[in-house]
Structures are given as C-alpha cells and as structure tokens.
C-alpha cells in the first residue's frame, strides 16, 4: 500500500509525524520513532524564555539544543523539523539562523501568544504573527511551518496572510495549556493535560475549510490516536497528521500500530494510495459544503433533540 505524502516540500513515507514533545529530547527516542515508522520528527521546542531564565533549573543551553539536532541528523535518515518559540523578534531571527546552520530539514514556528492587556487589539496580534514570520522567512531558506492558534477572529484570513508570506506549511492547532488553582495552597498551578480523541474535531473542521484555498501544506495535530483519525483528517485535506499524546500514553511503538491499521483500512476498502483520499471530504469537495458552516450547527441541535427529546 502507498502511504506516501509530501509536507513542506519533503517527500515522506507516510503522514505519521511525532509532534514536538519531551520524547524527542533523547536521541534514542528519535531512533525508536524512525524504527516504529515515523516519517519525520518535530523536535522538542527551544523556548527563548528558558534560555534567559534566571533560575538555573529552568535554563536551557541553546548550544545543546543545536547539537542535539546535529546528532539526530546523524542518527536517523528521516527529516528533523526543529521547533522554536521566542519572545523577541531578534530571538526569532537569531535562533532560526542557528537552527538552519545546525542542519535541521525544516523549522516549525511555535508562536504562542496570549494577550492579556485589554487595550491590545486583534489586529495588533495578527501583526505580531506576520512580522515574525516575515522576518524569519527572510532569515532562513529551509522549509518553514507555522503552528497556529485557533483563536483568531478570522482564522481563514490569518491563514491566507501567512500563506502569502511564502510559509511552506500551517500546523493546526497549538494547544494552550490552561492553569489550575490549588485551593489548599491558594496558588495558580500549571496543568498539563494530554489531548483526547475529541480534540481532533477542531483541526478537522478548519483543515476541511482551508483545503484548496492555500498553497501551503496543512498539518493536523491534537487528538490523533488511531488510523481512523488519520484517514478522516486526510480526507478533510491534511498532508500529515502529528501525534503526541497517543505516544505519551501508549509508547513510541504505537506509530507502528497506526501504520498497520492504515494499510489494513486501504486494503479493506479497495484503495491503493492514501493520496487518493486527500481532500475528498473537504468543504471544496464534499457533497454538502454547508456541513462546515452554520447550517450544520442547526442540524446538530436537531439531531441531539431527536435523540434526547425534551421533557415537559
């Protein structure tokens, strides 16, 4: 069965790509990902605020990160995609250049911006994204992906704006980790929650809408646990599907299980190639384009009330 795809201009053996996570901090894990069938690996993120942190336990040596990329390139034959999260424009440009020099095959910009000041407008945040991407695009020639938040007033317009800046791919979506409150200590505490299969619906929705409207590749991330999730996202229009929580829960070898199930599904349904499925259920190509818009909201409510009639 032909599981091949293209992402960021890179030819990949399948759409299965581990996304940025602590798993890739160890080169042995990167090797294990390749052995399990990973088509590429997104390296764990380099965070500028960790580099500059005053507390030694939070400091990250960028030289170590760059050397790890070089080591990974020597250790495996699959593409290594670096991940970068910075707080200053100078940091974005400087570290993008250094990551390029380290030999990364591509770079994913993990732009994680949560505005909390009431006077900051939506257009100001959009300008931060476009200014960052424009500057990094000018600083490096390697393929460039942008990991987006879903919280734009007009996500389709934001995606088109970035596409016009010649990014090679968009990753949908970045998951913002909300804090919790410890009532005993009366402290705000970090709360890392792994994704669930239901989280896959948001990227599926927007990839289905954006397919055919952009030049850039589309990557889906969040809630991808099994082959059927991958197939659904490909039919919506994704080029690759990125897995993280599934590997954290079930181990790196879970990649192999997903790949085996993908091949089995294609055989069962008389398909020879995953590429033939791409975008067939996108808004552009599906029998009912309104399924991606408000009409489906009304239908969803109607189907719910038919299953669970209101009692009087």
- What pLDDT does 293 receive? 80
- What pLDDT does 299 receive? 61
Confidence of residue 84 (pLDDT cuts 50, 70, 90): very high
β-strands 180-182, 217-221 pairing: unpaired
Task: Judge contact between 171 and 221, C-beta under 8 A.
Answer: yes
* 7-60 pLDDT per residue, tens: 999 999 999 999 999 999 999 999 999 999 999 999 999 988 777 665 565 556
Q: What is the per-residue DSSP string for 128-166?
A: HHHHHHHHHHHH--S-EEEEEPS--TTHHHHHHHHHHTT
What is the token pair recorded at 63?
A: 């030289």
* 120-141 pLDDT per residue, tens: 999 999 999 999 999 999 999 9
* 198-219 pLDDT per residue, tens: 999 999 999 999 999 999 999 9
- What pLDDT does 157 receive? 97
Helix axes 62-75, 27-36, angle to 10 degrees: 40
Look-up of token digits 């181990």: 251
Q: What is the per-residue DSSP string for 37-61?
A: T-S-EEEEEEEHHHHS-SSGGG---
Which percentage of the chain shows pLDDT scores above 70?
A: 91
* 221-270 pLDDT per residue, tens: 999 999 999 999 999 999 999 999 999 999 999 999 999 999 999 999 99
Q: What is the per-residue DSSP string for 75-115?
A: H-SS-EEEEEE-SSHHHHHHHHHHHHHHT-SEEEEE-----
């Amino acid at each position: 069965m032909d599981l091949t795809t293209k992402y960021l201009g890179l030819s990949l053996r399948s759409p299965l790509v581990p996304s940025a996570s602590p798993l890739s901090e160890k080169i042995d894990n990167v090797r294990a990902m390749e052995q399990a069938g990973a088509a590429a690996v997104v390296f764990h993120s380099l965070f500028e605020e960790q580099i500059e942190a005053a507390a030694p336990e939070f400091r990250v040596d960028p030289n170590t990160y760059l050397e790890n990329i070089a080591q990974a390139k020597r250790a495996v034959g699959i593409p290594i995609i670096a991940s970068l999260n910075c707080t200053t424009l100078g940091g974005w440009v400087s570290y993008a250049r250094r990551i390029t020099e380290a030999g990364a095959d591509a770079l994913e910009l993990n732009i994680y911006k949560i505005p909390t000041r009431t006077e900051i407008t939506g257009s100001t945040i959009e300008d931060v994204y476009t200014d960052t991407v424009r500057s990094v695009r000018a600083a490096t020639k390697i393929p460039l992906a942008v990991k987006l938040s879903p919280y734009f007033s007009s996500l389709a317009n934001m995606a088109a704006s970035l596409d016009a800046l010649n990014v090679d791919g968009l990753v949908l979506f970045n998951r913002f980790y909300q804090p919790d409150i410890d009532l005993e200590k009366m402290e705000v505490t970090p709360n890392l929650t792994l994704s669930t299969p239901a989280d896959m619906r948001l990227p599926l929705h927007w990839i289905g809408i954006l397919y055919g409207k952009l030049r850039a590749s589309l990557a889906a991330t969040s809630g991808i646990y099994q082959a059927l999730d991958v197939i659904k996202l490909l039919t919506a229009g994704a080029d690759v599907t990125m897995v993280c929580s599934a590997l954290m829960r079930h181990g790196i070898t879970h990649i192999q299980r997903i790949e085996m199930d993908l091949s089995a599904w294609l055989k069962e349904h008389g398909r020879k190639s995953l590429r033939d499925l791409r975008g067939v259920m996108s808004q552009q190509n599906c029998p009912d384009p309104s399924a991606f818009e408000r009409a489906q909201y009304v239908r969803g409510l109607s189907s719910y009330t038919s299953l669970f009639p209101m009692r009087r």
